[in-house]
Amino acid sequence: MAASSRKKLSMKVVLIFQRLFLLLIGSGILLGCGTQHTLKRAAGQLIGNELSNAHVGIAVFDPQKNRYRFTHQSDKLFVPASNTKIVTCYAGMKYLPARFPTAIFQELDTAVIIVPMGDPTFLHPEFAVHPLMNRLKDVKKPIYLSTTHWKTLALGNGWSQEDFSEGYMTERSVFPVYGNRVHWFQERTKKENPSHAADSIDLFIYSNPEISWPVDFGKAGSRFSVVRAAHNNAFTLLEGKEKQARVSVPYITNGVKTGLELLADSLHTSISIWEGPKEYTARLIRQDTIYSQSTDSLLSIMMHRSDNFYADQILLMASQMKKGEMNEEGFIQDMLETELKSFPVTPRWVDGSGLSRYNVFSPSDMIHLLEKLRTEEPWERIAAVFPQSSEGTLRSISGLSGTSIIAKTGSMGGVLCLSGYVRSKDNRWLSFSIMINNHTSSGAVLRKRIGEFLSRL
């Protein structure tokens, strides 16, 4: 082949590749524009007329391409409600060991001193094994409880304290006992030999733990309920029509005094509060740490059930591990200045549960945190701890049409949030955060619209 012919052929090949390259780029741009248009339309359907006066933020991030697929007011601050538990989950994963400590056990020559670590599962009926209780049963010396490392209030800043009798408003403490709640049970059974037709039902109402506090009966209703007095541990029981029912009601902790009273009844010996010096090494015989439950099992319950009490105690246990004291405010400030200092928008974080309306985070903050979790923790661990589609509180998210999500809900009056990971149509796990504040719409309708939006990703 002549040199001029080879040169012409080479130029044709180059032109073909140039056109092909431009065609591929153009297709990518069109595809990107098409995706943006689809997501914009889907977001418009999510927001709709009902949310025209609400505050809505959306962020969808593609970690493989390291860019956002879609944003809408993603740098605005929102009340996150229980999306705050994602931050608490991060702290728990980072600072709590595989099995979290329940107490430090110090044996002196004349006594035993217990330094509690804030374990929310101690004597909680949800857990069958209580290593600290087993150890205490074997103690023959006087037992003391040291609480000098407790630097937090029982109720959080910005909590709706008028809800004191609700299970989601359980007081925090350095040494929770029975989950700092009285668990009430109602059972209705048919009498084997009724004396007359109107007397055919046996009604049993009992509590765990058993208590000696004032108890009264109120007017019966359709549902079994229990109400605690505002300023003392007195309870009013209202019989329901259910065959079986359970209600858990917070008790007033009075520091650790109420818990120690209940523990003394179960242990059949009293425990006093240690008022001596902080250091006991001169008279120390031995010291060891007693471990409780699996950290991930507790994190999973907290995330699936959105358990406020577990969340707040997990944050305090993480504070104890990092700072040597249960100092909620100090621990949060330390986290925001170190591990979480790179939030895109400076948040306000005040508790572990999200009960406080003082908490504010942006959707971009949530994306940053979700990506930080993905980078620092095994994906298998995240997937096991977070609820997945149709698990836990995600059962309330309809309209997904088979789309897989791993996420955490958050809701309170006028607030609805969902943040986590969603498997896209091109089989990628995207990070997303949808935050809605100041809405007056039906929660069920909004959850369906959120599910429909995610199904289009």
Same domain, 106 and 168: yes
Q: Mean of the pLDDT values across residues 417-433? A: 96
What does the DSSP assignment read for 65-127? TTEEEEEESTTS-B--GGGHHHHHHHHHHHHS-SEEEEEEEEEESS-EEEEE---TTTT-TT-
Using the predicted structure, report yes or no on whether residue 29 has a pLDDT greater than 90: no
Q: Mean of the pLDDT values across residues 318-343? A: 97
Q: Mean of the pLDDT values across residues 46-67? A: 89
Under DSSP, is residue 447 helix (H, G, I), strand (E, B) or coil? helix
Structural tokens at position 65: 């391409």
Please report the pLDDT score of residue 35 as a whole number.
59
- Residue 278, domain member (yes or no): yes
Using the predicted structure, report yes or no on whether residue 1 has a pLDDT greater than 70: no
What is the percentage of the chain residues whose pLDDT exceeds 70? 88
| Candidate from 240-249, 277-286, 387-396 with smallest mean pLDDT | 277-286
Q: Mean of the pLDDT values across residues 432-448? A: 94
Q: Mean of the pLDDT values across residues 191-216? A: 86
Same domain, 64 and 89: yes
Structural domain tally of the chain?
2
Please report the pLDDT score of residue 295 as a whole number.
98
Same domain, 119 and 220: yes
- Residue 31, domain member (yes or no): no
Q: Mean of the pLDDT values across residues 444-448? A: 92
Please report the pLDDT score of residue 196 as a whole number.
72
Q: Any idea what the CATH number is for the domain that residue 361 is in?
A: 3.40.710.10
CB 315 within 8 A of CB 335: no
Q: Mean of the pLDDT values across residues 146-164? A: 95
- Residue 324, domain member (yes or no): yes
* Separation between Cα atoms, residue 113 and residue 135, nearest integer Å: 12
Cβ burial of 189 (10 Å; 0-12, 13-18, 19+) is exposed
What is the overall mean pLDDT for the chain?
Answer: 90
Same domain, 271 and 327: no
Please report the pLDDT score of residue 54 as a whole number.
93
**pLDDT tens-place string over residues 103-117:** 999 999 889 999 999
Same domain, 87 and 178: no
Q: Are strands 55-62 and 67-72 parallel, antiparallel or unpaired?
A: antiparallel
Q: Mean of the pLDDT values across residues 438-442? A: 92
Same domain, 176 and 287: yes
Q: Which of 434, 439, 428, 432 is nearest to 450 (CA)?
A: 434
What is the percentage of the chain residues whose pLDDT exceeds 90? 80
Q: Mean of the pLDDT values across residues 80-98? A: 98
- Residue 429, domain member (yes or no): yes
Using the predicted structure, report yes or no on whether residue 404 has a pLDDT greater than 90: yes
Q: Which carries the bigger pLDDT value, residue 10 or residue 417?
A: 417
Please report the pLDDT score of residue 20 as a whole number.
38
What domain range includes position 100? 94-299
Same domain, 448 and 304: yes
pLDDT level of residue 22 (50, 70, 90 thresholds): very low
Using the predicted structure, report yes or no on whether residue 24 has a pLDDT greater than 50: no
* Separation between Cα atoms, residue 165 and residue 155, nearest integer Å: 13
Q: Mean of the pLDDT values across residues 381-385? A: 98
Same domain, 388 and 313: yes
Q: Mean of the pLDDT values across residues 252-268? A: 96
Q: Are strands 181-190 and 143-145 parallel, antiparallel or unpaired?
A: unpaired
- Residue 354, domain member (yes or no): yes
Q: Which carries the bigger pLDDT value, residue 367 or residue 18?
A: 367
Q: Mean of the pLDDT values across residues 329-345? A: 97
Which phi-psi region, left, alpha or beta, contains residue 66 (left: φ > 0; alpha: ψ -120 to 50)? left
- Residue 440, domain member (yes or no): yes
Same domain, 289 and 316: no
Same domain, 245 and 235: yes
pLDDT level of residue 26 (50, 70, 90 thresholds): very low
pLDDT level of residue 284 (50, 70, 90 thresholds): confident
Please report the pLDDT score of residue 246 as a whole number.
96
Domain boundary, last residue among 267, 299, 331: 299
Please report the pLDDT score of residue 437 as a whole number.
97
Q: Mean of the pLDDT values across residues 300-314? A: 98
Q: Mean of the pLDDT values across residues 155-162? A: 94
pLDDT level of residue 15 (50, 70, 90 thresholds): very low
Domain boundary, last residue among 272, 299, 326: 299
* Separation between Cα atoms, residue 41 and residue 58, nearest integer Å: 13
Using the predicted structure, report yes or no on whether residue 282 has a pLDDT greater than 50: no
- Residue 223, domain member (yes or no): yes
Q: Which carries the bigger pLDDT value, residue 277 or residue 453?
A: 453
Please report the pLDDT score of residue 23 as a whole number.
40
Please report the pLDDT score of residue 4 as a whole number.
52
Domain boundary, last residue among 266, 299, 332: 299
pLDDT level of residue 197 (50, 70, 90 thresholds): low
Q: Which residue has the tokens 């080479």?
A: 10
- Residue 403, domain member (yes or no): yes
Same domain, 319 and 262: no
Same domain, 424 and 437: yes
